[in-house]
Amino acid sequence: MEENTNTTPSNFIRDIIEDDLKTGKHAKIHTRFPPEPNGYLHIGHAKSICLNFGIARDYKGQCNLRFDDTNPTKEDVEYVDSIQEDVKWLGFDWEDRMYYASDYFQKLYDFAVKMIKEGVAYVDNSTAEEMKNQKGTPTEPGTNSPCRERSIEESLDLFERMKNGEFEEGAYTLRAKIDMASPNMHMRDPLIYRIKKATHHNTGDEWCIYPMYDYAHPLSDWFEGITHSLCTLEFEIHRPLYDWFLDVLHLENRPRQIEFARLNLTYTVMSKRKLLELVTEKYVSGWDDPRMPTICGLRRRGYTPESIRNFADKIGVAKRDAMTDVALLEHGIREDLNKRAPRVMAVLNPLKVVITNYPDDLTEEMETINNPEDPSMGSRKIPFCKEIYIEQDDFREDPPKKFHRLYPGSEVRLKSAYIIKCNEVIKNDKGEITELHCTYDPETKSGGSSTRSVKGTIHWVSARHGKKAEVRLYDRLFVIEDPSSHEELSFKELLNPHSLDINENCFIEPELAKAKAGDKFQFMRMGYFCVDPLSTDEKLVFNRTVGLRDSWAKLEKKDS
């Protein structure tokens, strides 16, 4: 028996696997991740990827990547490529085991012929409406199709002619002969094959009949020697059909389907259809919009693969559907970036400060550490001069109690620089504050011998040396926890109007101009940010990954 040496928390699936290894039912564990190449993967798929590949890793088994490409009208190479990129980015490797359900089209066809010959499948020419009526209801049995007793010879002939392209779409289907009175609607003579005259991304125009998922799924698992076929809960009711196909084809060493709860995340939607609507109707800029729960969207927003893998471990695997708070995902990326992201200074809403007693032509290099959590990251120097920018929120002309930042007559320490005192507030004709005049104490340079201290420390950027940048402040996509649950409003009417606020007037440390796409930073006191892939030397663009703390928790507490 292969020992599980990983620290991933146990769950009911791992308990089953442990038992199967202990009893000798399986010598090796073999799983698979079988996405449909009809869209981009989201965080729910990431949970499944981590589960399937993680189990294979922990039990020294194997995990295949298999594309469930049985519907050529909805699939595209674009999705195939993006899925591979996402799985690799998450840190998993299928090695040489990338397959397509379409790789097995001939085998699936041959098995279908065998089923016809054994009298457990038949060709039907009922219309879609007629088949719908034949199905019955969950409380009433269905009725047999007039074609159900079609001879084996005639069904074989028609099925071959279907394959040869002699009939139009919808003219004929192949159905399994099971039980039209079954309490499980999926067992009421389900479709096995239908005609689709569409070019397939992998097989071209070789086929014009395509197998249904419920048929292709168990047999593809069997072809690949899968031991544990892990699916989300909506497939639980399909399991009797999964087993039925394996039974009637007399297949041994068969896979076992096990269902687990899918991921439902607050303040977003996980339905592919709804996500597609957001993209096609331009509520978001694309599948990789950083507000989307897609893996490529999370990557662009600045999430790390480590944070997503840790999130998947923390939420665990359950047998019942539940809603997971997105705050747990946000906490994970904060925890990860806190250890690895350099601390830098950026002023999002600048207010100019003129240090009146500082020499006009002097520039000093102030040394500051890159990350107090990791001394090995060292330090850097940032320029300081007579004019700097601070955050507008760090000054109040009429401050509230316990306001330890800048106000008339107060003193604050500039991070890694000096203590300054606000002496004068300059306003324009409209009464708006345009700049502050302050003085500095030259004896209080950070790292010096001065013991003088003040309560507040604020960040700053040199007005002379700082670089301008665009900052995109991303937030949760919807204003309520479960946008799919609202009885009166469409989910699109519940979009957060401030899910993206763009600030084009940010100033950053000059060294940040050298940052590359994907580089991650903590903007001191502002949050975690990363360089957008579309950022250029001429236009620097930073995406906010997450704030330093959960501002929504405060709002919810205030509203309650």
Catalytic residues: 36, 262, 272
- Stated as kind and residue range, the H or E segment containing 331 is helix 326-340
The label of the residue with tokens 């003085």 reads: 439
Sheet with strand 98-100: strands edge to edge: 30-33, 62-67, 98-100
Euclidean distance between CA atoms 501 and 331, whole angstroms: 22
SS3 35: coil
Is the separation of the CB atoms in 523 and 344 below 8 Å?
yes
C-alpha atoms less than 13 angstroms from C-alpha of 367 in its C-beta half-sphere: 5
Euclidean distance between CA atoms 401 and 284, whole angstroms: 41
Cβ neighbours for 553, distance < 8 A, ≥ 6 positions apart: 327
Let me know the angle formed at the C-alpha of 252 by 190 and 177, rounded to the nearest 5 degrees.
20
Helix, strand, coil fractions of the chain, as percent rounded to 5: 30, 25, 45
Q: Pick the closest to residue 414 from 372, 454, 457, 384 (CA basis).
A: 457
Cβ neighbours for 210, distance < 8 A, ≥ 6 positions apart: 70, 71, 72, 105, 193, 194, 196, 200
Ramachandran quadrant class, 431 (left: phi over 0; alpha: psi -120 to 50; beta: rest): left
Strand partners, 77: none
Sheet with strand 527-531: strands edge to edge: 343-344, 520-523, 527-531, 541-546, 467-474, 500-508, 346-347
Euclidean distance between CA atoms 362 and 387, whole angstroms: 11
- Stated as kind and residue range, the H or E segment containing 336 is helix 326-340
Phi, psi of 176 (to 5 degrees): -80, 145
Q: Pick the closest to residue 459 from 529, 397, 384 (CA basis).
A: 384
Q: Pick the closest to residue 384 from 224, 510, 474 (CA basis).
A: 510
Is the separation of the CB atoms in 270 and 48 below 8 Å?
no
| Euclidean distance between the first and the last CA atom of the chain, given in angstroms as a whole number | 53
DSSP 8-state class, residue 103: G
Phi, psi of 439 (to 5 degrees): -125, 155
Is the separation of the CB atoms in 32 and 229 below 8 Å?
yes
Strand partners, 347: 507
Euclidean distance between CA atoms 119 and 155, whole angstroms: 10
The label of the residue with tokens 């591979």 reads: 84
